[in-house]
């Protein structure tokens, strides 16, 4: 039986070798000066090997600077496995490049924990992500006679361990680098925060605030609008932190549109913030015909009531959506009231509301449970790209109260301030969600939503990679305008209402970028200077106005 297995393994290896693509030089993956690789010409040894000397899978494959050959360990040998590189003369080294074979993932395990052991007795450990590499390991320079790569852990144990190339350098100026595709480069994004000089800074600036206050003093229309919003804020400003947290949905709670409707009469109760709910009837909805649900005949433990016909009715989920969106509405009123009046009481309650939502935000990651989606995904009540539509408003509310000491008070989350909780668990969490989704690509409205979500947080906290992605990324605002708007300022989707939506969506990039200041964009980005961008907004609706009506074409 053992001999049969060994024969089968040998046949598999031969078949794999026959299917290997033509050899490619390692400089397809790694940028390095010619003749700088100290491993070339060194003596190499391995703990085990699947190939005979001079053949595929032998240890000599790790320092031939070719990607078409690789070392493979013996079949099913346990960890640790090691590779040793010995020099004829002592060498000063500070960089090792490790590349694994990027073929046959069903056979080859990928190293998770790699240790470098040196002849001077020192060691360096590095955790590796679950891909083939190249991995560039840098460490303080040392002069050694040999070094050894110890593979201590695998992401998943398989038949073989492997290395396509091991390179060794003295690179004090850190010129050695990996060649990466555009998608890899954007995936390995630097999320360093540089901060912003002043706040508010995203959708408005201190100068905008002063202008608004002046308008309120001078103009009746501005005073009337401000008074109405402040009056709304006054209706909720006295809510206590205990009340706000008590009425907030729990971590991991269900959220829903309420699409299925009433199981008694099929009546509807509205969706999200427009649902017929009340804090006087916690956990319930009221349909258009007056049925209050759940009831004894239609129980809902929080995950929905399953109708005998198979449909699920999310009464509690609809209520939770209403609460989350009501809290957001209150935060809008309160942030505006604080901006206009400067009174701390408004910022205090706004900070508590945002803190409560941030506490549950990362765990409520399915969006609306009744949204037709496999798998479900989102944050709070909003699925997929709609996460960004809410995130930009949360950024705005937080930005307006950013300077308030209320944010430096203890959070509902132990060990954090409200500021830390809101930024980490809601804003940066939401931005990363939007950014990851946007990597799927596409020049469409959903993509623009995702990108503006990440952009808003990037502009708020000074995360330049998010700004760069939104401006000059392959699906950013410049690419979107250049590809989606024709010479007459028409949008590529034929339906007029989609075109109007795209115009309002693209416009939300303009002010954050105009206000932004960073290393790459020291004067911000003025989209209004772009003639193609401007053409998108020059009388777009009047150009197709038909006696006050929109023509019905596409799916308008």
CATH for 463: 1.50.10.100
**Position 556 in a domain:** no
Residue 33 sits in the same domain as residue 114: yes
In angstroms, the CA 556 to CA 543 distance is 16
Residue 172 sits in the same domain as residue 97: yes
Coil vs helix vs strand at 289 = coil
Q: What is the pLDDT of residues 264-317, one digit of tens each?
A: 999 999 999 999 999 999 999 999 999 999 999 999 999 999 999 999 999 999
Q: How sure is the predictor about 536, in pLDDT bands with cuts at 50, 70 and 90?
A: confident
Residue 221 sits in the same domain as residue 169: no
Quote the tokens at residue 98. 């490790």
**Position 550 in a domain:** no
Coil vs helix vs strand at 136 = strand
Residue 145 sits in the same domain as residue 237: no
* Confidence at residue 6, expressed as pLDDT on a 0 to 100 scale: 42
Helices (H), 369-495: 386-400, 418-421, 429-438, 445-461, 464-472, 477-484
Residue 145 sits in the same domain as residue 226: no
* Confidence at residue 539, expressed as pLDDT on a 0 to 100 scale: 67
**Position 243 in a domain:** yes
Mean per-residue pLDDT for 427-433? 98
Peptide bond into 392 cis (omega under 30): no
In the chain, % helix, strand, coil (3-state, to 5) comes to 40, 15, 45
**Position 226 in a domain:** yes
Q: What is the pLDDT of residues 158-191, one digit of tens each?
A: 999 999 999 999 999 999 998 877 777 787 789 9
Mean per-residue pLDDT for 66-91? 94
Domain boundary among 126, 161, 179: 179
Closest by CA to 137, choosing from 148, 146, 125, 147, is 125
Residue 223 sits in the same domain as residue 313: yes
Q: How sure is the predictor about 23, in pLDDT bands with cuts at 50, 70 and 90?
A: low
C-alpha neighbours within 13 Å on the C-beta side of residue 445: 16
**Position 188 in a domain:** no
353 pLDDT higher than 70: yes
The residue range of the domain holding 139 is 2-179
544 pLDDT higher than 50: yes
Give the rounded percent of residues in the chain with a pLDDT score beyond 70: 95
In angstroms, the CA 69 to CA 56 distance is 6
206 pLDDT higher than 80: yes
Mean pLDDT, the chain, as a whole number? 92
Quote the tokens at residue 32. 């390095």
Mean per-residue pLDDT for 362-387? 97
Residue 274 sits in the same domain as residue 166: no
* Confidence at residue 126, expressed as pLDDT on a 0 to 100 scale: 94
Residue 166 has φ and ψ, to the nearest 5°, of -125, 125
Residue 509 has φ and ψ, to the nearest 5°, of -80, -25
Q: What is the pLDDT of residues 27-61, one digit of tens each?
A: 888 999 999 999 999 999 999 999 888 888 999 99
CA 128 vs. chain centroid, Å, equals 21
In angstroms, the CA 14 to CA 11 distance is 5
Among 61-70, 75-84, 446-455, whose mean pLDDT is lowest? 61-70
**Position 322 in a domain:** yes
Residue 175 sits in the same domain as residue 211: no
Match 């931005």 to its residue by tokens: 431
- Per DSSP bridges, beta strands 160-163 and 108-109 are parallel
542 pLDDT higher than 80: no
Contact 446, 413 (CB under 8 A): no
Domain boundary among 135, 163, 179: 179
Residue 174 sits in the same domain as residue 218: no
Handedness of CA 125, 127, 132, 136 (dihedral sign): negative
Helices (H), 64-219: 182-187, 206-218
Closest by CA to 368, choosing from 352, 389, 384, 351, is 384
Residues 6+ apart with CB under 8 A from 302: 253, 254, 316, 317
Among 116-130, 151-165, 184-198, whose mean pLDDT is lowest? 184-198
C-alpha neighbours within 13 Å on the C-beta side of residue 145: 3
Higher pLDDT, 544 or 213: 213
* Confidence at residue 14, expressed as pLDDT on a 0 to 100 scale: 39
492 pLDDT higher than 60: yes
Q: How sure is the predictor about 456, in pLDDT bands with cuts at 50, 70 and 90?
A: very high
In angstroms, the CA 523 to CA 153 distance is 48
Residue 108 sits in the same domain as residue 212: no
Q: What is the pLDDT of residues 9-21, one digit of tens each?
A: 443 443 334 333 3
**Position 184 in a domain:** no
* Domains contained in the chain, number: 2
Mean per-residue pLDDT for 250-269? 97
Q: Can you name the residues that pair with 166 across neighbouring β-strands?
A: 98
Domain boundary among 160, 179, 198: 179
Quote the tokens at residue 265. 């009469």
Contact 270, 259 (CB under 8 A): no
Reduced 3-state DSSP string for 46-95: ECCCCCCCCCCECHHHHHCCECCCCEECCCCCCCCEEEEEEEEEEEEEEE
Residue 388 has φ and ψ, to the nearest 5°, of -65, -35
Q: How sure is the predictor about 556, in pLDDT bands with cuts at 50, 70 and 90?
A: low
CATH, residue 30? 2.60.120.260
Residue 409 sits in the same domain as residue 484: yes
Inter-CA distances, 305 with 21, 98, 130, 296, 371, Å = 56, 54, 41, 11, 16
Peptide bond into 73 cis (omega under 30): no
Residue 106 sits in the same domain as residue 210: no
Could you tell me the end-to-end alpha-carbon distance of the chain, in angstroms, rounded to an integer? 69
459 pLDDT higher than 80: yes
**Position 235 in a domain:** yes
Q: Which long-range contacts (CB under 8 A, 24 or more apart) does 545-552 make?
A: 550/496, 550/497, 551/496
5 pLDDT higher than 70: no
């Amino acid at each position: 039986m053992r001999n049969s297995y060994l024969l089968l393994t040998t046949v598999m290896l031969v078949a794999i070798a026959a299917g290997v693509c033509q050899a490619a030089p390692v400089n397809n993956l790694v940028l390095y000066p010619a003749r700088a690789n100290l491993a070339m010409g060194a003596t190499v040894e391995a703990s085990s090997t699947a190939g005979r000397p001079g053949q595929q899978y032998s240890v000599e494959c790790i320092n031939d600077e070719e990607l078409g050959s690789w070392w493979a360990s013996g079949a099913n040998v346990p960890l640790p496995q090691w590779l040793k590189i010995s020099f004829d003369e002592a060498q000063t080294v500070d960089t090792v490049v490790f590349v694994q074979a990027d073929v046959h993932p069903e056979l080859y395990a990928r190293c998770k924990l790699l240790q470098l052991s040196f002849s001077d007795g020192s060691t360096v450990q590095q955790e590796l992500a679950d891909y083939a590499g190249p991995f560039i390991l840098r460490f303080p320079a040392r002069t050694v006679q040999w070094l050894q790569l110890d593979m201590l852990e695998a992401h998943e144990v398989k038949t073989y361990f492997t290395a396509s190339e091991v390179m060794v350098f003295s690179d004090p100026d850190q010129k050695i680098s990996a060649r990466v595709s555009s998608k890899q480069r954007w995936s390995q994004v630097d999320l360093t925060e540089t901060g912003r000089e002043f706040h508010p800074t995203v959708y408005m600036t201190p100068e905008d605030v002063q202008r608004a206050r002046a308008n309120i003093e001078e103009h009746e229309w501005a005073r009337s609008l401000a008074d109405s919003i402040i009056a709304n804020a006054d209706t909720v400003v006295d809510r206590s932190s205990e009340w706000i947290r008590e009425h907030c949905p729990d971590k991991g709670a269900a959220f829903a549109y309420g699409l299925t409707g009433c199981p008694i009469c099929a009546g509807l109760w509205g969706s999200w913030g427009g649902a017929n709910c009340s804090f006087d009837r916690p956990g319930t909805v009221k349909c258009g015909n007056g049925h209050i649900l759940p009831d004894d005949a239609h129980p809902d433990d929080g995950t929905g009531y399953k109708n005998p016909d198979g449909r699920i009715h999310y009464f509690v989920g609809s209520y939770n959506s209403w609460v989350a969106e009501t809290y957001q509405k209150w935060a809008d009123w309160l942030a505006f009231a604080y901006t206009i009046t400067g009174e701390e009481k408004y910022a205090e309650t706004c900070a508590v509301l945002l803190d409560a939502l941030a506490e549950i935000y990362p765990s409520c990651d399915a969006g609306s449970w009744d949204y037709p989606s496999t798998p479900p995904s989102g944050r709070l009540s909003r699925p997929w790209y709609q996460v960004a539509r809410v995130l930009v408003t949360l950024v705005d509310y937080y930005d307006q109260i950013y300077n308030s000491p209320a944010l430096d008070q203890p959070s509902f989350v132990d060990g954090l301030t409200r500021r830390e909780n809101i930024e980490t668990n809601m804003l940066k969490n939401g931005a990363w969600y939007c950014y990851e989704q946007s990597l799927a690509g596409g020049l469409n409205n959903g993509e623009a939503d995702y990108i503006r979500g990440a952009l808003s947080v990037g502009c708020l906290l000074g995360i330049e990679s998010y700004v760069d992605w939104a401006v000059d990324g392959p699906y950013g605002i410049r690419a979107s305008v250049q590809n989606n708007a024709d010479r007459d300022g028409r949008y590529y989707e034929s339906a007029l209402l989609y075109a109007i939506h795209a115009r309002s969506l693209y416009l939300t990039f303009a002010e954050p970028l105009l206000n932004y200041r960073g290393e790459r964009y020291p004067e911000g980005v003025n989209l209004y200077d772009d003639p193609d961008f401007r053409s998108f907004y020059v009388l777009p609706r009047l150009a197709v106005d038909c006696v006050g009506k929109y023509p019905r074409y596409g799916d308008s």
